[in-house]
Structure 1
Amino acid sequence: MVKEHLQFTLFEKGIFERVVLKPPMKAPGIMHNEACFLYAVEGESKVFSAVSDIMLRTEEAVVMKCGNYLNDWLETTEQSFCQAIAIHFYPDVLKKLYDKELPEFFKSVKDIQPTCIEKVKSSRLLKNYINSLQFYFENPDLVNDELLKLKLKEIILLLVNTDKSGSMKGLLASLFTPTEYSFKELVEANIYNNLSLDELALLHGVSLSSFKREFNKVYKESPGRYFKRRKLERAAKLIISTNERIGEIAFNCGFSEVAHFSNSFQDQFGCSPTAYRVSQNNN
């Protein structure tokens, strides 16, 4: 549930956003010709792209290039609400911002393979920048287009100048170039994530029916049956090779409920997870 949503627009597009929400909540992000900087002021989230995911904790940030994402805000004992600040990048806005000639760091960077999502290291400079945005969200009457242009340039320079590895430069140079991946890469990357078929279809950028058709064509098996089998096979290996609790194994293999996991395990292996551990250890 969204409790608060504030937005500043520039060149008729929403650029700066502040959102307060009550977790748990999953927020899809469809960004075909757009990129985004996301900062968690408070709360924890797991950000999924098609073939990777990143944990986002309080006072951490990520930059996401164009693509489809799912932001899973998690319920914790520390916070009742989550707060995030998002800054959106559009190619036409950046051209206007830099008077049609983009800086060098938006151009090709050699020897760097950019990912679709990159975590931004926490720093005093970044915290100060976020605090300055918070001030303007609390005092919107002070905001005008010239100020927004300065703040947009400021975050871009901050990201570039604090990038020691060069990975952020690589990401900025490919902000609006979609990451290519195969259908199998998407499936294999998300087998043990607790994502629905609808959510996987969203990450792939297709309808649910199209996703199911492609899955059956590639795997010769229904997605529900394939995912359950792979999850249970991994769980069986962890049960006999680790001392993890059954509930932890169920969660790590993508099951949201221990009871559902136990019933599925019983159907697959003919005994409960606990009995399976005992029998295998005695052999």
Structure 2
Amino acid sequence: MVVDHKQYDLFGKTLLEILVLKPPFNVTFPVADNACFHYMLENEMHYKIDEKELGIPVKESVLLNCRTVGNTMSSTNETANNKVVIVHFHPGILKKIYDREMPTLLQKPKNEISNKTSERINNDFLIQKYIEGLLFYFKNPTLVNEDILILKLKEIIILLSQTNHAEAIQMILSQLFSPTIYSFKQIIEANLFTAVSIEELADYCNLSLSSFKREFAKIYNDTPASYIKTKRLEKSTDLLLLSNKGISDIAFECGFNDLSNFTKSFRDKYNTTPSKYRLNQIDK
């Protein structure tokens, strides 16, 4: 139940909102061609996004791409109302205010093969101060004009680009300009040799970890960890024989986080070290 709602529009579209909701409630998001940033001012909010579930506590936030069906936010904690600040990212508005060149956060990332549509953003001091600034303008509506709204939109994009979540945020926001749905196998194959965890791969597929593992086993008849390690080691043997790259460079190129992990995995599979493997093959 909506207790209070205030908003500011820019170029005919909703840009900023404050929502106060009385629990219990379960709100389904309409499908839209924009992304939105939700910051929790009061009470914890529960989100269900595709097959993932997120609890967002006070002073934390979540970024959502609203193109998918069935996303919801809810709360059953009746001790207090939920209060959330929302910033909307419309592709048309972003193109208009960045008429020369889009900032990096809105450009295609190096790894663009992902269906990721959400990212939880932990407590961040600068974002807290940004929200305080927005609250000032909600309390003083006579000070708000088009230039201020454009400035606040650009400011949050700069702040998001400076968080530890910038890479994931870029994946989400860049989809506003070139929306593509990738298959499960496309996402796996594109990320085989990048240093991403199984949890991150599940996130790229918009699946919970358990659902991701079930889907992986169904398609590859193997566990994600086993299949990915095997593929990375197979690639490393090719590089050891066909290139002059150093062992460390090969390890990182094949997606291993460090040399010791690569060496141990290689020895477990081939019963020798990468260096000896290269020498033995050359001597044959």
2:260 aligned partner:
none
1:140 has 2:134 as partner? no
TM-score, length of structure 1 as denominator length: 0.60
SS of the residue corresponding to residue 19 of structure 2 reads strand
Shift of 1:178: 5.4
Distance in 2 (alpha carbons) for counterparts of 1:117 and 1:14: 20
Distance in 1 (alpha carbons) for counterparts of 2:157 and 2:133: 15
Distance in 1 (alpha carbons) for counterparts of 2:145 and 2:121: 27
Q: Give CA-to-partner distance per residue, 1:69-96, whole Å, 9 cap, x none.
A: 533322326x421100111111110011
Distance in 2 (alpha carbons) for counterparts of 1:111 and 1:181: 15
Distance 1:82-1:179 versus aligned 2 partners, 3 A rule? farther
1:171 aligned partner:
172
TM-score, length of structure 2 as denominator length: 0.60
- CA contact 1:35–1:66 (8 Å) conserved in 2: yes
1:38 aligned partner:
38
Q: Give CA-to-partner distance per residue, 1:3-24, whole Å, 9 cap, x none.
A: 1000000001011000101011
- CA contact 2:35–2:173 (8 Å) conserved in 1: no
Distance in 2 (alpha carbons) for counterparts of 1:91 and 1:8: 17
Shift of 1:173: 2.0
SS of the residue corresponding to residue 6 of structure 1 reads strand
Aligned length: 188
Q: Give CA-to-partner distance per residue, 1:194-232, whole Å, 9 cap, x none.
A: xxxxxxxxxxxxxxxxxxxxxxxxxxxxxxxxxxxxxxx
Distance in 2 (alpha carbons) for counterparts of 1:121 and 1:111: 23
Measured on the aligned residues, the alpha-carbon RMSD in Å equals 2.7
1:84 aligned partner:
84
Q: Give CA-to-partner distance per residue, 1:248-282, whole Å, 9 cap, x none.
A: xxxxxxxxxxxxxxxxxxxxxxxxxxxxxxxxxxx
Distance 1:45-1:69 versus aligned 2 partners, 3 A rule? farther
1:59 has 2:59 as partner? yes
Shift of 1:99: 1.6
Shift of 1:103: 2.1
Write the letter of the residue equivalent to 2:20.
Answer: V
Distance 1:111-1:10 versus aligned 2 partners, 3 A rule? same
The higher radius of gyration belongs to: 2
- CA contact 1:39–1:59 (8 Å) conserved in 2: yes
1:131 aligned partner:
132
Distance in 1 (alpha carbons) for counterparts of 2:5 and 2:100: 31
Write the letter of the residue equivalent to 2:134.
Answer: L
1:1-283 equivalence runs, <5 A = 1-67=1-67, 68-76=69-77, 79-99=79-99, 101-111=101-111, 114=114, 115-163=116-164, 166-176=167-177, 177=179, 179-180=181-182
Write the letter of the residue equivalent to 2:171.
Answer: G
SS of the residue corresponding to residue 26 of structure 1 reads strand
Q: Give CA-to-partner distance per residue, 1:33-62, whole Å, 9 cap, x none.
A: 111111111112221122322111111101
SS of the residue corresponding to residue 122 of structure 1 reads coil
Distance in 2 (alpha carbons) for counterparts of 1:178 and 1:22: 36
- CA contact 2:37–2:64 (8 Å) conserved in 1: yes
Write the letter of the residue equivalent to 2:140.
Answer: N
